[in-house]
Amino acid sequence: MTFQERPLDRDASSVGAAGGRDTVPTPTSNSVAVHLNGLRRRFGGVQALDNLDLEMAPGELIALLGPSGCGKTTALRVLAGLEDADSGRVLVGGKDITELPANRRDMGMVFQAYSLFPHLTALQNVEFGLGLRRVRSAQRRERAGAMLDLVGIGTHADRYPHQLSGGQQQRVALARALAIQPQVLLLDEPLSALDAKVRVQLRDEIRRIQLEVGTTTLFVTHDQEEALAVADRVGVMRAGRLEQLGPPDEVYQRPSTAFVADFVGLSNRLPGTVSGDRVEVLGTALPLVPGAASGIGSGAVNALVRPEAVDLAVDPDGRGRVLAASFLGPTSRVSVAMPDETMVVAQVASALLPELAPGTAVRIELRPVPVVVEAA
Amino acid sequence: MTTVAHQPDAAPVDQHRDPVPASAKWRAGWRRGRQLTGVVPFFAFIVVFLVIPTLVVAVGAFGSNDGRPTLDNLSALGDGYIVDAFVRSILLSAVTAVIGAILGALLAYALVTAKPDGILRRLVTSACGVLAQFGGVMLAFAFIATIGLSGFVTLFLKDQLGIDLYSGGVWLFDLPGLMLVYTYFQIPLMVIVFLPALDGIRPQWREATESLGGSTWQYWRRVAMPLLAPAFLGSTLLLFANAFSAYATAAALVSQGSPIVPLQIRSALTSEVVLGQQNLGKAMALGMVVVVAVVMWLYAYLQKRTSRWLG
C-alpha cells in the first residue's frame, strides 16, 4: 500500500473505539496488528529475550515496563528490524516480516534522544521520510506541516534541532515518525531525557496524539508511572520474559507475581500465614490474588501490601509507633514500626500529617484488597 | 484541535535589583585577574613568536633596503619565478591535502567502526599522533634511505626485480617527491582532526533513516555526508595550510633549486649570489600569511558549523 492510498486523517470514532481507555482492545485471532512469537535473543552470556510472546490489537498502545536489562528495548528493536532475533517470528498485520530489513518494515520510531538530523530544520526532518517515499514536494510540505501542528510545534517549523528544547525535539521526532503513517509506532524511552514537568506534559500529548491517529504503538519505558498513565495494556518484563500483561489497573491492583507487585508501585513485605485462599497479615485476613500462592502452599509467607491499602488511626493503645513521614503533596507516606520490628508504610492524606508526629501511637488496619505472597 | 506549545520557563525579571557593592566588584575583578595570570605565558609566547614576527614581515614587505617605504617588493611577487613558486606550493599543498584527506578519512572511518576502546583504535591513533609530527630532516632521511637513489628498496627493486624507480628522472627531489613525502604526514594528521567528527555521528541517525525507509546509500547521501562535509572540507583546509607552511622537510630533501615558496624565501634571505633581497623574502612571507589566513578563516567557519551539528 502506498502512502497516498492511506489517508492521513482517520475517523475519530473508529480511533476511539480502537484505542480509548473505555474499551481496552484485546487482540483476537483475526484482529492482531503485531505478533511477536517466541522471540529469543542472547547477547554473550545474557539472555535478553527468552521466548517472548506478545500480541497487540490494532490501535492499541502497549507499554513494556521493566528494570534495565530486562529485554524491553531489545524486543522493540527486534520489532523495528534494528536487531535480529536468534529465533522466533515477527508478524505485522498477519504478514511475517522477520526477515525484512528495517527500512522495509513501515514502522515509525522515536528514540530516547538526539535522533533528529541536526542539519535539517524541524519541517525538513518531518519531510525526510516522505521524501524517501517520493511524495511530491508540495504534498510533503503540507503533510509535514500538519504533523507539526498535530504535535503542537507548527510555529517552530523553521528551527534547527539545536534551537529547540529537549521536549520540542521529541515532539518533532514524534511528528517525523507519524508523518510516514507507519503501521506501528515504536517509542523507545522517548521521555527519559526530559525534565519532570515536560515529561508529564509530553506523556499526555503522546497519548492524545496516539488516540487521534490510532496507530498501534509499542512504548518502552522504565518509568512505571509513565507506563500506567499512557498504556491500554502494560507488559512487565523480567529477564527477557513477560511477567504480566494487562490493563494498568489490573497490573497495579492484582499483580500476578511478587516481582510485579514489587516493581510496579511500592509494597510492604509483611509476614503472614496462608490458609486456603486467604492470608492473615497483622490480624487481618486478606484475599489472595488467584494463583498467587501456587507453589508456596500453606504456612508462613511474606505478603506484599500496597501503602494505600494500609489505614492508620491515632490510638493511644495502638501497637504501632510513627517513625517518620514523607510529604508527597496531596498524600504523604508514613513509616510505622511494629513491636516485632516489622516496618509498615502507609499512604495517608497529607491533611492528617499534623496528627502523626514521630512517636505517635497508631492502630493499623489493612483493607481487604487481593495481595500476592512470596515464600518467607 | 488543541495545540500545546512548550515554552521554556522565563526567568523572573528583578526590576529592583540592589546595586552591587564596590567590595564585591573588586573581589570579582581580583578573581578574574588571578584566573588570567595562568595564561600570561601563553600570550607572551604568542606576542614574541607570532605577533612581532608577523609585524616585522608586514612592515619589511613595504620597506626598501635603506628603510624607505616602497611597493617594489610586492610588485616583485608578480615575477615569473615567484608566481611559479606560489603555483607549485599551492599545487603541492592542494594535492597532498586532498590525497591525505581521502585516505585519512577512510582510515578514520575504519577506526570508528572498530571497538571504541579496542587495541586497534588506541594503537592507530597513537601512531597517527606521532607520525603527524614526523616531518623535517628525519622524514626526508627516511625516504632517502628507503626510496632514494641508493635506498634499499630502490636497490632491491632494481637488482632483484629489474624495476628502476628513477627511469623517468630523479623525481624524489622535485615536486612529485615532495608530494609523496608530504602525504606521509598528511594522512595521520587527517585521522587526528577528522576522527572527532566521525565520532560525533550518532547511531540513532542511521537507525532513524532506516526506520523511515532509507537505505544505507540514502543514509550516507542525505544524512552522514551533509553532516560530515563541513568537517571534511575544514580538515582538508587544515591539511592544505599544514603543507603550505611546511619548510624543513622540503629544505632537507631539495638541495638544488627552490621549487616552492618557503625555499624561495630561504634563498632570498640567505643567498650569497644575489644580495639585499631580505625584504622580498618578507613580501613572499606576507603572501603566505595572507593565503594561510584565508584558509584558516574558512577552516574556523566550517569548524563552527560542524561543532553545532556534531558537538
CATH number for B210: 1.10.3720.10
Beta bridge partners of A311: A365
What span, in angstroms and rounded, lies between the C-alpha atoms of A216 and A211? 9
C-alpha cell at A184: 506501528
At residue B164, the pLDDT reads 93
| Cross-chain residue pair A111–B5, CB shorter than 8 Å | no
- Among B209, B183, B13, residue whose Cα is nearest residue B98: B183
| Contact (CB<8Å) A115/B204 | yes
Which three-class secondary structure state does DSSP give residue B64?
coil
Q: Where on the phi/psi map is residue B257: left (φ > 0), alpha (ψ -120 to 50), or beta?
A: left
- What's the mean pLDDT in A354-375? 91
Task: Give ranges for CATH 3.40.50.300 in chain A.
Answer: 12-106+182-253
Q: With CB atoms and an 8 Å threshold, state whether A154 touches B310.
A: no
pLDDT for residue A293: 62
Alpha-carbon distances of A195 from A198, A201, A276, B32, B311, rounded to whole Å: 6, 10, 47, 34, 22
Of B235, B215, B213, the closest CA to residue B224 belongs to B215
H or E stretch covering A337: strand A331-337
* Count of CA atoms in the C-beta half-sphere (13 A) of A9: 5
Which of A332-366 are b and which e, b meaning 16 or more Cβ less than 10 Å from the residue's Cβ?
bbbbbeeeeebebbbbbeeebeeebeeebebebeb
Other Cβ atoms less than 10 A from the Cβ of B76: the count is 16
Q: pLDDT tens digit string along A254-287?
A: 888 889 988 998 899 999 998 888 899 998 999 9
Question: Is the residue at B31 inside a domain?
Answer: no
Residue that is written with C-alpha cell 485476613 in the block: A285
Predicted pLDDT of residue A27 = 58
Q: Tell me whether residue B115 is in a domain.
A: yes
**Lowest mean pLDDT: which of A161-170, A333-342, B300-309?**
B300-309
Residue B159 covered by a domain:
yes
* B119 occurs within a structural domain: yes
For the domain made up of A266-375, give the CATH fold. OB fold (Dihydrolipoamide Acetyltransferase, E2P) (2.40.50)
Residue A88 is predicted with a pLDDT of 95
| A-B C-beta contacts closer than 8 Å | 92
Collapsing DSSP to helix, strand or coil, A95 comes out as strand
How many of the other CB atoms lie within 10 Å of CB of A204?
A: 13
B130 Cβ contact partners less than 8 Å away, ≥ 6 residues apart: B188
Polymer length in residues for chain B: 311
In angstroms, the CA A303 to CA A273 distance is 9
Kind and range of the H or E element at B192? helix B175-199
Alpha carbon distance B121, B114 (integer Å): 7
List per-block mean pLDDT (blocks of 10 residues) for chain B, which spans 311 residues: 38 51 83 84 92 91 86 89 93 96 96 87 92 88 93 94 90 91 95 93 93 94 93 93 92 82 88 74 92 91 79 63
Residue A72's SS3 state is helix
Stretch A16-41: mean pLDDT: 65
Note the pLDDT tens digit of each residue in A56-102. Answer: 999 999 999 999 989 999 999 999 999 999 999 999 999 999 999 99
How many Å lie between the alpha carbon of B250 and the closest alpha carbon of chain A? 41
pTM: 0.79
Residue A204 sits at the vertex; the CA angle it makes with A202 and A210, to the nearest 5 degrees, is: 100
Comparing alpha-carbon positions, the chain B residue that sits nearest to A168 is B6
Half-sphere exposure of B109 (CA within 13 A, CB side): 11
Chain B residues with CB under 8 Å of A102 CB are 207, 210-211
Of A119, A149, A202, the CB nearest to B309: A119
Residues of B with CB under 8 A from a CB of A: 1, 3-6, 8, 202, 204-205, 207-215, 218, 222-223, 226-227, 308-310
- Pair A202, A170: CB distance under 8 Å: yes
Residue A145 in contact with partner chain B when CB distance is under 8 A: no
CB atoms A128 and B8 under 8 Å? no
Q: How far apart are CA B68 and CA B141, in angstroms?
A: 43
User: Is A149 in contact with B1 (Cβ distance < 8 A)?
Assistant: yes
What letter does residue A371 receive in the DSSP assignment?
B
Q: Is there a domain that residue B75 lies in? A: no
In a domain, B118, yes or no: yes
What confidence score (pLDDT) does residue A374 get? 85
**For residue A213, what are the CA distances in angstroms to A56, A147, A231, A251?**
16, 10, 15, 26
Name the closest residue on chain A to residue B218, using Cα atoms.
A132
Q: What is the DSSP string of A28-48?
A: -TT--SEEEEEEEEEETTEEE
Render pLDDT for A210-231 as a digit per residue (tens, 0 to 9). Answer: 999 899 999 999 999 999 999 9
Give the rounded percent of residues in chain A with a pLDDT score beyond 70.
90
CB contact under 8 A, B204 and A111: yes
Q: What is the least distance, in Å, from the CA of A100 to any CA of chain B?
A: 12
The strand order across the sheet containing A184-188 reads A107-110, A184-188, A216-221, A61-65, A233-238, A241-246
Q: How many angstroms separate the CA atoms of A87 and A93, rounded?
A: 20
Q: 11-70 in A: which are within 8 Å (CB) of B?
A: none
B chain contacts of residue A119, beta-carbon cutoff 8 Å: 223, 226-227, 309
Measured N-to-C along each axis, helices B52-61 and B278-310 cross at an angle, to the nearest 10 degrees, of: 130
Q: Taking a contact as any Cβ pair under 8 Å apart, which residues of chain A between 115 and 134 contact chain B?
A: 115, 117-119, 128-129, 131-133
Q: What nine digits make up the cell of B245?
A: 607552511
Instruction: Please indicate whether, in this complex, the C-beta atoms of A104 and B204 are within 8 angstroms of each other.
Output: no
The answer to whether A283 and A319 are in contact (CB under 8 A) is no
DSSP 8-state code for residue A8:
S
Mutate to test the interface with B, among A128, A149, A194, A197 (most CBs of B within 10 A): A128
Residue A280's pLDDT is: 92
Angle between helices B278-310 and B175-199 (to 10 degrees): 30
Backbone angles phi, psi at B254, to 5 degrees: -105, 110
Looking only at the bridges linking them, the beta strands covering A46-56 and A95-96 are unpaired
Q: In what order do the strands lie in the sheet with A331-337?
A: A310-314, A361-366, A320-327, A331-337, A343-349
Contacts of B271 (CB under 8 A, 6+ apart): B277
Mean pLDDT of chain A: 88
Cα-based distances in Å from A231 to A59, A62, A65, A249, A360: 11, 5, 11, 10, 41
What is the number of structural domains in chain B? 1
Q: Are B121 and B107 in contact (CB under 8 A)?
A: no
Could you say which of A109, A154, A167 has the minimum Cβ distance to residue B211? A109
CATH topology of domain A12-106+182-253: Rossmann fold (3.40.50)
Residue B49 lies in a domain: no
Domain hosting B153: range is 82-310
Please report residues of B whose CB lies closer than 8 A to that of A109.
Answer: 207-208, 211
- Is there a contact between B210 and A103 (Cβ–Cβ < 8 Å)? yes
- Can you tell me the ipTM of this complex? 0.81
Going by their DSSP bridges, the two strands A184-188 and A107-110 should be labelled as: parallel
